[in-house]
Amino acid sequence: MTSHTSAGLETARWLLDIKAVNFRPEEPYKFTSGWASPVYIDCRWVISFTEARRRIVELGVELLNHDMDMAGTDLVAGGETAGIPYAAWIAESTDKPMLYVRKKPKGFGRDAQIEGNLKDGQHVLLVEDLATDGGSKINFVNALRTAGAKVSDIFVVFFYSIFPNTREALDNAEIKMHYLCTWHDVLKVADEYKYFPPETIENVSEFLNNPLKWSARHGGRSK
C-alpha cells in the first residue's frame, strides 16, 4: 500500500514527534515472528503523551464511525497488553462497554481468557496498538469467538502493511482491519520533514520495497 490519507500522515507526524518511531538499519531489529527489520515502532509509547494520544484516538474514532457499523457494535475489546489502553480510550469515546482478551487463560480462579461481561452473540470490535503480520490478532479473535462473540472488525493505530500473506490470513478469518497509519506514511513524513539522514531514509525505503529480501540479507526470515 502506498496511498496516503490525511489521517495517516497526521498520525505519522505525531508518532515521529514523540519518538515512537525508530529507524536502525545498521543494527536491525528481530521480531518474534522471525523478521529482521530496520524499523521499529512502539505505540505503547503514546500512553505518556496526552496531546498525541487524544488526537490519535480522535482520528481512530472518526475512521471507525466512517468505515464500520459502530452503532451495531456492542463492546470494544483490547488485546493483552498493548491494546488495553487503546480499547479503553475508544470505548470511552464511543460510550461502549469494554472487555480485554488475555493471550491465554490465566490458569487460576475463573481461568478466564476474556475479562468483562460478554454475552453470547454480541458484536465485538477488537482493538490493538499495531499489527505486523496479523497472527496475534487472529488468536485474539478466535478467543473472542470461542467465548461466543461475533467479531468481524479489528482496529489498530499502526499496520506494517508490508509482510506477505497478511491480508490473505485476515480474509480467511473473515476479518476486516481498520488502521490509521503505515510505514509508507511514516517514511513520507520522515523524508519530507527530515527526521532522519537521507542514507537512513534510503535504507528504510529499500526495506519497504522488498522486506523479504532485506530481512533475509540481515539474518531474518525470507518467506
- CATH number for the domain that contains residue 123: 3.40.50.2020
Q: How confident is the model at residue 163 (pLDDT cuts 50, 70, 90)?
A: confident
Q: Domain of 43?
A: 6-217
- Residue 198 has a pLDDT of 94
| Confidence tier at 192 by pLDDT (50, 70, 90) | very high
Query: Has residue 61 been placed in a domain?
Result: yes
pLDDT of residue 109: 52
- Position 1 pLDDT exceeds 50: no
Q: What is the mean pLDDT of residues 159-176?
A: 88
In a domain, 1, yes or no: no
Q: Given a cut of 60, is residue 170 above it in pLDDT? A: yes
Q: What residues contact 43, with CB distance under 8 A and at least 6 apart? A: 15, 20, 82, 86, 129, 130, 157, 158
Q: Is 174 exposed, middle or buried (0-12, 13-18, 19+ CB in 10 A)?
A: exposed
pLDDT in tens, 2-35: 446 999 999 999 999 999 999 999 999 988 778 8
Question: 185 falls in which pLDDT band (50, 70, 90)?
Answer: very high
99 belongs to a structural domain: yes
**Domain total for the chain?**
1
**Chain centroid to CA 149:** 21
- pLDDT class of 221 with cuts at 50, 70, 90: confident
The pTM of this model reads 0.91
Residue 78 corresponds to which cell in the numbers above?
483490547
pLDDT at site 112: 85
Check whether 205 has a pLDDT greater than 90: yes
Q: How many CB atoms lie within 10 A of CB 106?
A: 12
Asked whether residue 203 is assigned to any structural domain, the reply reads yes
Q: Residues 89-128: pLDDT tens digits? A: 999 999 999 999 999 887 655 558 999 999 999 999 999 9
What DSSP line would sit under the chain, residue for residue? -----HHHHHHHHHHHHTT-EEE-TTS-EE-TTS-EESEEE-GGGGGG-HHHHHHHHHHHHHHHHHHS-STT--EEEEETTTHHHHHHHHHHHHT--EEEE-SS--SSTT--SEES---TT-EEEEEEEEESSSHHHHHHHHHHHHTT-EEEEEEEEEE---STTHHHHHHHTT-EEEEEEEHHHHHHHHHHTT-S-HHHHHHHHHHHH-HHHHHHHTTS---
CB 61 within 8 A of CB 125: no
Amino acid at 8: G
pLDDT for res 199: 93
Structure confidence at residue 2 (pLDDT): 40
CA dihedral 52, 56, 57, 58 (to 10 degrees): 100
pLDDT classification of 132: cutoffs 50, 70, 90: confident
Q: Which residue has the cell 470505548?
A: 91
Give mean pLDDT, residues 147-174. Answer: 91
- For residue 107, the model assigns a pLDDT of 64
pLDDT band at 214 (very low <50, low <70, confident <90, very high): very high
In a domain, 66, yes or no: yes
Residue 158 is assigned to a structural domain of this protein: yes
Specify if 180 maps to a domain: yes
Beta bridge partners of 114: 101
Would residue 53 count as lying in a domain? yes
* Separation of alpha carbons 221 and 192, rounded Å: 31
- Selected residue with higher pLDDT from 72 and 165: 72
C-alpha R_g of the chain:
18
How open is the CA angle 61-65-69, to the nearest 5 degrees? 130
Mean of the per-residue pLDDT values for the chain?
Answer: 92
